[in-house]
Amino acid sequence: MTAEDEQAILEVLHARSMSGTDITLELEKEYAAWEGSRYALACNNGTSAIHCAMYGLGIGRGDEVITPTWTFWATHTQLLNLGATPVFCDLDPHSLCPDPADAERRITDRTKAIIVVQMGGYAANMDAFMDIAARRGVKILEDYSHSHASTWKGRKVGSIGHVGAASIMSGKPLATGEGGMMNTNDQDIYERAVMFGHGDHHSLVQNPEYKRFAPLPWGGYKYRMHQMTSAMARVQLRHYDEYRAPGVKAMERFFSQVCAVPGVDCNYPLHDPNVTVGASYWQMLILGDEIISQAPVAVIAEAIRAEGASASPGGYFCHHLHPFWNECDVYGDGKPTRIAFSRDVRQGPGDCPVAEQIVTRLIHVPRMIRYDEAYLDQLAAAYVKVLTNLDQLQGRTSDQKLERATTLGR
């Protein structure tokens, strides 16, 4: 937090306008312009921003929504509140964003939308997704919580689909403590989202049929952003490029060294001219057969940590295999909620093979915020050292104590 952030927050406190909307409305204007959208709606967190986007699209009871299996739960769990059903799709093995071809093959006459998660600063193939949307009559919701200011062919993610939504909590690239933003070019999507959880914004709604029911929020939710968050977000937005440029440059330096090791890939577009990265968040190494065949990912990560570098196996789990989605009766319908309002779409092992394999091959690398060549080269050297001396790890299990990595070949 900078002195400018603190001053903005103190001004809210001194003005006793914590529960107002004046600062939030200014943020929405600025954010819409920054994203290249006509409308923006500030929410109390990213989960509610996605919820508003879903309602804005008209997602409701009996609808199916295609969504990646490998993501944070807030990408799609809100669908259950709307009586809709998630259908999980597989990943692109390099970007870790959803695979357009796999998503399309899951479209039925019940499909209302596809959620495209822009993962780890990368951008999905938005040409392919928008082509699918046009041909098949479905909507695209972008969850770009990881990827503020990243672009696909020069357009910011979040502004390409029919609606975008993102978290701006403290750990995200655009960090404000806790908050979320929704943005769209579609007036009806925006006004439905406003009516769903922003009773205080009803004066901005033009549709006379909607205005009849103001100021009550149709969803029964109060999703308004706190004005201290709005004030901080305005500061962060003004300085976003300045704050994030060193981290993006750092990722380029680190990954260009580590991914030179045969069998090592990453979810960073080192050689993708269509994508420009705007954020450093949730970066992964993706280990190929020639790496995994020599040592499990947990052992490799432990060896890297023994070198003094941060590394962990990981990422998210595959949602299509989690018992919550296949067994849990959330609302007492007498059957799993996921299938309470639709056909039985439950999925099992083998249905998303890329994701099921990928989760056993990922190493979560340190988040990079500053550009320090000496540190980055030392960090990369620790990774390269382990990844090029895997023969010395063969036979180890992750619960065996590793000696300091000075025992590894130099």
pLDDT digits (tens, 9 = 90+) for 302-318: 999 999 999 999 889 99
User: Per DSSP, what are the bridge partners of residue 284?
Assistant: 364
pLDDT score for 177:
86
pLDDT score for 400:
55
Flag whether pLDDT at 281 surpasses 90: no
Do residues 120 and 149 make contact, with C-beta atoms less than 8 angstroms apart?
A: no
**Measuring CA to CA, which residue among 40, 169, 163 is closest to residue 113?**
163
Q: Please state, in angstroms and rounded to a whole number, the distance separating the CA atoms of residues 329 and 341.
A: 12
Q: What is the mean pLDDT of residues 225-245?
A: 94
DSSP class of 83: T
Flag whether pLDDT at 325 surpasses 80: yes
* pLDDT tier, 207 (very low <50, low <70, confident <90, very high otherwise): very high
CATH 3.90.1150.10 fits 241-316+359-407, yes or no: yes
Flag whether pLDDT at 406 surpasses 90: no
Q: Please state, in angstroms and rounded to a whole number, the distance separating the CA atoms of residues 167 and 312.
A: 23
* Range of weakest confidence among 32-36, 95-99, 128-132, 213-217: 213-217
Do residues 145 and 274 make contact, with C-beta atoms less than 8 angstroms apart?
A: no
CATH number (3.10.180.10, 2.40.128.520, 3.30.360.10, 3.40.640.10) of 3-239 reads: 3.40.640.10
Flag whether pLDDT at 128 surpasses 50: yes
Flag whether pLDDT at 387 surpasses 50: yes
What pLDDT, in 10s, does the model give residues 167-205?
Answer: 999 888 898 989 999 999 999 999 999 999 999 999 999
Q: Please state, in angstroms and rounded to a whole number, the distance separating the CA atoms of residues 74 and 71.
A: 8
* pLDDT tier, 405 (very low <50, low <70, confident <90, very high otherwise): very low
DSSP 207-239: -HHHHTTTTS-TTS---BPPHHHHHHHHHHHHT
pLDDT score for 17:
80
Residue scoring higher pLDDT (87 or 171): 87
- Residue 342 dihedral angles phi and psi, to the nearest 5°: -150, -170
The residue extents of the domains of the chain are: 3-239, 241-316+359-407
What pLDDT, in 10s, does the model give residues 335-381?
Answer: 999 999 989 999 999 999 999 999 999 999 998 889 999 999 999 99
